[in-house]
Structure 1
Amino acid sequence: MTNICVAALQLPLGGDEQSNIYAVSGLVAEAAEQGAQIILPPELFAGPYFCKIEDEALFALAQPVGESAPVLAMQKLAKQYGVAIPASFFERDGPHHYNSIAMIDPDGEIMGVYRKSHIPDGPGYEEKFYFRPGNTGFKTWDVCGTRIGVGICWDQWYPETARAMALMGAEILFYPTAIGSEPYDADLDTSRMWRRAMQGHAVSNCMPVVASNRIGIETEGNGDQAFYGHSFITNEWGDLVAAYGSDETGVLVETFDLEEARKHRAGMGFFRDRRPELYGRLAEDK
């Protein structure tokens, strides 16, 4: 039996960088003390979600991976507790800027960087102003005796992302997120759709999914934006085995038997019965 213990963090992140990193660090420690081996903080956890507005002064928040304060802090914690952490950060690479993940192993070393592939652009989520589309392709990582795939927020709406990582050998999918209210429609609550989309990835790929989101009302920029939380962990059937609502702060921890999930994945036949020769239309931009 091959067990893996994973954790999702949920918390408000409207403070300054030092306060946010301190708060995330406390939850990482709490998750590690509960036995978590892979711990997922939310997207861009070092500060308020700055993409609500277009302001060129905010490019100063970006740092190279080796100089990023949130990455350096998570490296220290990963080594201290012997855990793996996909750490989200605003990356500067020469003249280019990305919404990125530094995959940190249990020795505190950076295994590599994944850059967000799908970049949203709309009221309250004007990410195309700040981020280039990622040039790394989808990535998977061998950590803690398994292989994981990590997408970033808007990536989670695309079944192609999940399936590509599954075909690359991922056995668990992780999605750090910053999502909440839609400024153009105060009555639109996407939290149910958000969860269902990723539960669908769990079902279609027969593997657990872990999603971390922020909570709270952030007032910076052009008006308030409420982040709705609802962080969760599903099993390979897409069932919610651990979940928060819209206002809890804390850690969700769950242990999976990967051998059991592999057995179910083989038995369902989703990968056996694929017909790649019929899927060419998916790669056509028209």
Structure 2
Amino acid sequence: MTRTISVAAIQTSYGSDMQANIDKTIALIREAVSQGAQVILPSELFQGPYFCVTQEEHWFTSAYPWRKHPAVVQLQPVARELGVAIPVSIFEREGPHYFNSMVMIDADGEALGVYRKSHIPDGPGYQEKYYFRPGDTGFKVWSTRFGRIGVGICWDQWYPEAARAMMLMGADVLMYPTAIGSEPHDETLDTAEPWRRAMQGHAVSNAVPVVGANRIGHETLTPEGQTFYGHSFIADHRGDLVEALDREEGVLVHTFDLDFIDRYRAAWGFFRDRRPELYGSLAAGRPTD
């Protein structure tokens, strides 16, 4: 029997009410399921506004242990009812430590574990180092009912090493929940297309489908606000956009033949021809003699 997988991305705006945001996400998950989706990706930190635009200590009260986070607790029975897998992006607290994390919920409602964002940005409008420690879990690939899913979080998506690491762990699909939009230091800079192209490159060089889910809308945690540009997409194993949104709310769904993609990847020889013994400078972080 041919192995297939139907993946989905959710694109929407979020307000300040956590419960309303979770309810809205559940409704869009149900919409994706009605279109045949099996693994459904909401965007990064979908429980509220993207608070990292500023440094405000009160936001630490919105973090929870990953097993007890309201989004995880409420999406587990939804995943079980609908028979779908859901990567859930959360603000996690573990003792005195805080992380930007993802909990993978499988189709039986089981939480398979947590991944903590590895690359933490720090710049105007994206001041994440104030809130989050660098992840300590390493990259992860999750064996779900429908296939092996690798998930990186937002800034992770710009790093080819992260994508390659998940592929070496056997990922069938790569997914990236995201919160990205306007750049406060340069109002003329629109990164929507480079953002897509970076991940399309991962699809090409790893021969793997890639799913990116971003938020939309203008959020007003600062006087000037920040606008999130959406552009969520699904790219195939060639890097071609097979499903895409602009700046509107919606869901994207696409089905892939995993057996065909496995053969395609083997035929291209990207993994056959790797030379790990030459890549020492990648781990050293500097040129080697």
Amino acid at match of 2:124: P
Unpaired runs of 5+ residues, structure 2, are none
Query: What corresponds to 1:262 in structure 2?
Result: 262
User: Is the 8 Å Cα contact of residues 203 and 237 (structure 1) preserved in structure 2?
Assistant: yes
Task: Determine helix, strand or coil for the equivalent of 1:12.
Answer: coil
**Separation (CA, whole Å) in 2 of partners of 1:44 and 1:104:** 16
Could you tell me the percent identity over the aligned residues? Answer: 62
How far off is 1:144 after superposition?
A: 2.4
User: Is the 8 Å Cα contact of residues 4 and 144 (structure 1) preserved in structure 2?
Assistant: no
User: Is the 8 Å Cα contact of residues 63 and 98 (structure 2) preserved in structure 1?
Assistant: yes
How far off is 1:222 after superposition?
A: 4.7
Task: Determine helix, strand or coil for the equivalent of 2:216.
Answer: strand
**Separation (CA, whole Å) in 2 of partners of 1:66 and 1:171:** 26
**Separation (CA, whole Å) in 2 of partners of 1:21 and 1:74:** 8
Task: Determine helix, strand or coil for the equivalent of 1:48.
Answer: coil
Amino acid at match of 2:279: Y
Query: What corresponds to 1:94 in structure 2?
Result: 95
The range that moved more, 220-229 or 258-267, is 220-229
Amino acid at match of 2:259: E
Task: Determine helix, strand or coil for the equivalent of 2:12.
Answer: strand
The range that moved more, 219-228 or 152-161, is 219-228
**Separation (CA, whole Å) in 1 of partners of 2:238 and 2:49:** 34
Unpaired runs of 5+ residues, structure 1, are none
**Separation (CA, whole Å) in 2 of partners of 1:276 and 1:67:** 40
User: Is the 8 Å Cα contact of residues 53 and 222 (structure 1) preserved in structure 2?
Assistant: no
Amino acid at match of 1:280: G
How far off is 1:221 after superposition?
A: 3.3
Task: Determine helix, strand or coil for the equivalent of 2:11.
Answer: strand
How far off is 1:245 after superposition?
A: 0.3
Task: Determine helix, strand or coil for the equivalent of 1:170.
Answer: coil
1:134-213 paired onto structure 2 within 5 Å: 134-213=135-214
User: Is the 8 Å Cα contact of residues 39 and 146 (structure 2) preserved in structure 1?
Assistant: no
Q: How many residues align?
A: 285
Task: Determine helix, strand or coil for the equivalent of 2:36.
Answer: coil
Amino acid at match of 2:260: E
User: Is the 8 Å Cα contact of residues 38 and 146 (structure 2) preserved in structure 1?
Assistant: no
How far off is 1:34 after superposition?
A: 1.4
Q: What are the Cα deviations for residues 181-202 of structure 1, in whole angstroms up to 9, with x where unaligned? A: 0000000000010000000000
Query: What corresponds to 1:284 in structure 2?
Result: 284
Amino acid at match of 1:112: G
Query: What corresponds to 1:119 in structure 2?
Result: 120
How far off is 1:149 after superposition?
A: 0.3
Query: What corresponds to 2:11 in structure 1?
Result: 10
Query: What corresponds to 2:250 in structure 1?
Result: 250
- TM-score, reference length from structure 2: 0.97
**Separation (CA, whole Å) in 1 of partners of 2:183 and 2:210:** 24
Task: Determine helix, strand or coil for the equivalent of 2:123.
Answer: coil
- TM-score, reference length from structure 1: 0.98
**Separation (CA, whole Å) in 2 of partners of 1:252 and 1:15:** 25
How far off is 1:14 after superposition?
A: 2.6
**Separation (CA, whole Å) in 1 of partners of 2:76 and 2:224:** 34
Task: Determine helix, strand or coil for the equivalent of 2:222.
Answer: coil
**Separation (CA, whole Å) in 2 of partners of 1:14 and 1:273:** 48
